[in-house]
Amino acid sequence: MSEQLAMVTGASSGIGEAFARELVRRGYAVILVARRLDRLIALQAELGKGTEVLAADLATEEGMGAVAARLSRGGISLLVNNAGLGFRGLVVDQPEASITRLVRVNLEAPMRLSRGAAAQMAGEGRGTLINVASMGAFQPVPYLNVYAATKAGLLSFTEALADEVAGFGVTVQALCPGNIPTGFQDVAGTKGSRFDRTPSMSAGEVARRSLDAALQGGPTLFLPARMDRISIFAQRFLPRFVARRVAGSLLKSE
C-alpha cells in the first residue's frame, strides 16, 4: 500500500507539531519543516522512520527555495503552511528587520509554497492545502499590527486560490484559529495580555478539526471555536472601527 505524503511547515512546535502527529496517526508520511533541527529530529524519532526532516529558515530566499524544491519533486498530497510568528508592540518601536521577517514567514513563504503545491496538485488532479491564517485576519489589530496585516493578506490569498483551483480536485482551506496556547505567546510577547485570557482550545483539537474539514473537501474557511464564530459574526456586523478597537484593547499593555 502506498503511503500518502504530507508536508508541515513550523512542525517544531505548537499547531504544526500537532498537525504532524495527527497526520501520522491518519497514516501519512510527513516532511517536517522548521529552523530548530534538534526539535525536528526529536519529533522524527518519536513519529517513526517514514518521517522526513527539512531544516529551513522561511524568512530567507535560501530556505524558501529549499522547501519549494522539495515540493517540486512531487508526491506531496497535503501541505500545511503553518510556520508563523507575531511581535506585540508599537510598529514605530519595531526594527525594520522584524517587519521583513513577519512578511516573509507569514505571507511570502506561504504564498510561494501554495503556488508550487497547487500547481503540482492540480497536475495530479488531487490534493489538500491548508494555510494557517488567524482570527486576527478579520480586522486590523493595534499592537499586533504587522501580524494581523500578514494574516489578512494570507486569508485573502487563500480564499481566492481556493476558487481558482476548485475545478482541479484541489481543496484549499484557510484555517483561522483564535488564541491557542503554544510557543506563539512567548515569541509574540502576548503573555499577560487580555488576548491571552480569551477562549481557547488545544493545538491538537485545531489540527484534528482542520483535517476533518479539509479532507472532506471543505469548507475552505475553518473557524474552530463557537466563541470565535460569534466574534466573526460581530465583526461582520459591527462598524470596522469598533472591531479594531476591541482587538487593540486585548493587546494593549494594561
Ligand X SMILES: NC(=O)c1ccc[n+]([C@@H]2O[C@H](COP(=O)([O-])OP(=O)(O)OC[C@H]3O[C@@H](n4cnc5c(N)ncnc54)[C@H](OP(=O)(O)O)[C@@H]3O)[C@@H](O)[C@H]2O)c1
Q: Which residues are catalytic?
A: 147
Cell 484593547 belongs to 249
Amino acid, single-letter form, for residue 27: G
Return the residue of 184, 210, 214, 231 that touches ligand X, per CB under 6 A: 184
Cβ neighbours, 10 Å, residue 235: 17
Q: Judged by CB under 6 A, does residue 187 bind ligand X?
A: yes
Q: Judged by CB under 6 A, does residue 85 bind ligand X?
A: yes
Q: Judged by CB under 6 A, does residue 247 bind ligand X?
A: no
Window of 119-127, 183-191, 217-225, 243-251 that interacts with ligand X by CB under 6 A: 183-191
3-state class of 126 per DSSP? Answer: coil
Q: How far apart are CA 57 and CA 40, in angstroms?
A: 13
The torsion angle over the Cα atoms of residues 17, 52, 43 and 64, rounded to 10 degrees, is -50
Residues whose CB falls within 8 Å of the CB of residue 231, separated by 6 or more in sequence, listed in order: 135, 178
Window of 6-14, 158-166, 208-216, 245-253 that interacts with ligand X by CB under 6 A: 6-14
Cell 503511503 belongs to 3
Window of 120-128, 161-169, 172-180, 228-236 that interacts with ligand X by CB under 6 A: 172-180
Return the residue of 13, 114, 210, 231 that touches ligand X, per CB under 6 A: 13
Return the residue of 78, 105, 172, 201 that touches ligand X, per CB under 6 A: 105
Nearest to 28 by CA among 62, 57, 51, 46: 51
Size of the site for ligand X (CB under 6 A): 28
Residues that bind ligand X (CB under 6 A): 10-16, 34-36, 57-59, 63, 82-85, 105, 132, 134, 177, 179-180, 182-184, 187
